A = this chain, B = another copy of it.
Amino acid sequence: MGDDVPVAESTAPRRRGRRPAGEDTKGALLSAARAVFTEQGYDGATVRMIAARAQVDPAMVNHWFGGKESLFAAAVQLPITPQQILETVLAGPVEGLGERIVRRFLSVWDETGGGPFVALMRSASSHDDAAGMLREFVTHALFGKIARAIGADQPDLRASLVGAQVAGLGMMRYVIKLEPLASADHDTLAAAVAPTLQRYLTGDLA
């Protein structure tokens, strides 16, 4: 743009041709990440694409987030990376999968006080790119990977059913704060919900 004179550049909210520093870089990377993950999918998105969209050096992704996995987690406002969840959930017998998922879900989000889960649901119901991120999370980053790791048939349907039960549990516990579910202990909820998740992953759906 030929009319992009220096004075405009110095006052524009979006800097051009200069690398923003610190919090600006993080913010730019998070918003670029949401756009690129949604457009390219979790597997297709690369650090290079996200950095280019944010107009920062790709090394900044590693510097601020430690890599693509953690950048995704930060963009979804997840307290831990999908890879960390995957490791603990897949460690153990297949018949305990449902229980390990519900306990991991509760311990991760309870620890945050639930606030970030509320923010996640608000974003997902207000912004297409946040909905897209959550979609990628359920299908490709986490539940789809679990369904595929155990060689399940219909892995996408199973992943979306697990996502539905887990998202609904979070809605009632952290967003709606519906009692007695909101303050139920983990044993009670694991006993109630784990068999559902187990059936969605390994049971007969027809």
- Could you tell me which A residues sit within 8 Å of B by CB distance? 118, 121-122, 124-126, 131, 134-135, 138-139, 156-157, 160-161, 163-169, 171-173, 175-181, 184, 188, 191-193, 195-196, 199-200, 205-206
Contact = CB atoms under 8 A, between A and B. Distances in A.
Instruction: Determine how many copies of this chain the complex contains.
Output: 2
The 8 closest A-B pairs by CB, nearest first: A168-B168, A160-B181, A164-B168, A122-B125, A121-B125, A164-B172, A167-B168, A160-B178
Nearest to A173: B164
A51 B176 CA distance: 26
A124 B175 contact: yes
B157 A184 contact: yes
* Residue from the set A131, A164, A173, A195 with the largest chain B CB neighbour count within 10 Å: A164
A contacts with B: majority SS: helix
A166 B84 CA distance: 28
A31 B206 CA distance: 38
Given A160-B181, A164-B193, 18 more contacts: A118-B125, A121-B125, A131-B175, A138-B176, A157-B181, A157-B184, A157-B188, A160-B178, A160-B179, A163-B178, A164-B171, A164-B173, A164-B181, A165-B196, A167-B176, A171-B171, A191-B205, A192-B205
A156 to B, nearest CB: 6
A180 B168 contact: no
A206 B191 contact: yes
Contacts of A157: 180-181, 184, 188, 192
Contacts of A205: 188, 191-192
